[in-house]
Amino acid sequence: MHSQAVLVLKRWMDVLSVKGFAGQFGNFALNMQIFANFNSVNDLINTSFTDRLMKPFLSYFNEPFTKIINRGWDLIGLSVNYISQLPFAIFISHLVRSLVPECIICAGGTEITDDVKYMSDRNLLWKLFSACDAIVVGEGESSLISILDSLHLMQPLPKQCPGVLVKDDPIIFDDFKLSLHMTFENLSALPEPRYDVWNWNQYWSPEPIILYSPTRGCYWNKCTFCDYGLNADSPTSPSRQKPIQSLINELKDITKIGRTLYLAVDAISPSFLRKFAQTVIENGLSIHWSAELRLERLFQTGLAEELRKAGCVYFIWI
């Protein structure tokens, strides 16, 4: 049944792609490198390319999307985590600008942070994001609050505010200042995430699959090939973990919505995994969960069995 459903979806996506670039949805991934270079600013701002790429989605953009945007928002944020999402974000930012000209548009995410870090000419940054008013680099909770505070007080967007870049901000040309500018949140100080703001009935899975991040960054942080966006000059962002009491409170609230979790984390240390498993068992939490883990020798000393007892159903080794 699963393989048949996947085949039907692939065929439907192939049919849909004919409206844009035939075959652009190759195997559930955007397959566009033969038509454009996503590392080229000129290609990404080429409206003839982005307009054609978006044609399969125009019925959505022209009707449901437009109705949502026309509600008169003061701030609209775009999350861009992968390079394949860049042309979509650029198209959407210009569409939003045309629908609500006075709205503040902000872009953030791992891909946006990488763009800021690695642009050979940062003068092109606002050419690429010409419809945006602000860009968030690093993690975004505190940056979002700063932007919302400015809107509430009817003040200009903050310049030199940690994590926020606005147009004409000279900090982007100083690598050292830019690295200090990136925000890494204190997980002990952050409030509990809200999981009750979505309509979980819109998901097609038999029950909700909830993304949960009890840690951030990578405890290993040595792989020179890794550059997972939200970092300055090290492989990835610094490793942090939530206090155990926060973990307990959040897991209890999550189980009111669903019992299947995916730990959306770069890499979780074996010591924290053991704490996580003990917390789940001691509090009688009935959950099933999975995660991406780095293969460590500790898994040969009983750790895997502890995780199984705590509801772990599978690992993806990285």
Q: Are 12 and 19 in contact (CB under 8 A)?
A: no
- Nearest C-alpha neighbor of 46 from the set 37, 55, 59: 37
Count Cβ atoms below 10 Å from residue 266 Cβ, excluding itself.
Answer: 23
Q: Compute φ and ψ for 12, nearest 5 degrees.
A: -65, -40
**Neighbouring-strand partners of residue 260:** 209, 288
SS3 content of the chain, % helix, strand, coil (to 5): 45, 15, 40
Tokens of 156: 């200009």
Q: Structure tokens of 210? A: 């909830």
Q: Which amino acid is at 262?
A: Y
Pick from 22-26, 33-37, 285-289: least confident = 33-37
Given a cut of 90, whether residue 230 has pLDDT beyond it is: no
DSSP 152-178: HTT-PPPTT-TTEEETT-GGGG-HHHH
Q: How far apart are CA 203 and CA 205, in angstroms?
A: 6
Is the per-residue pLDDT at 172 higher than 90? no
Report the percentage of the chain scoring pLDDT > 90. 52
For the stretch 290-302, pLDDT in tens is 998 888 887 777 8
pLDDT reported for residue 297: 80
DSSP state of 32: -
Global pTM reads 0.87
> What distance in Å separates the CA atoms of residue 15 and residue 23, rounded to the nearest whole number?
8
Give me the mean pLDDT over the 16-21 stretch: 92
Averaged pLDDT, 244-254: 92
Band of residue 158 on the pLDDT scale cut at 50, 70, 90 = confident
Range scoring the smallest mean pLDDT among 2-6, 65-69, 164-168: 2-6
176-213 pLDDT, tens digit each: 788 878 888 999 999 998 888 888 888 777 888 899 99
Q: Are 25 and 17 in contact (CB under 8 A)?
A: yes
Rg value, the chain, Cα: 21
Nearest residue to 24 via CA among 49, 58, 59 = 49
Integer CA distances (angstroms), 259 to 2, 108, 288, in order: 22, 30, 6
Where do the domains of the chain lie, and which CATH numbers do they carry?
32-181 (no CATH), 200-317 (3.40.50)
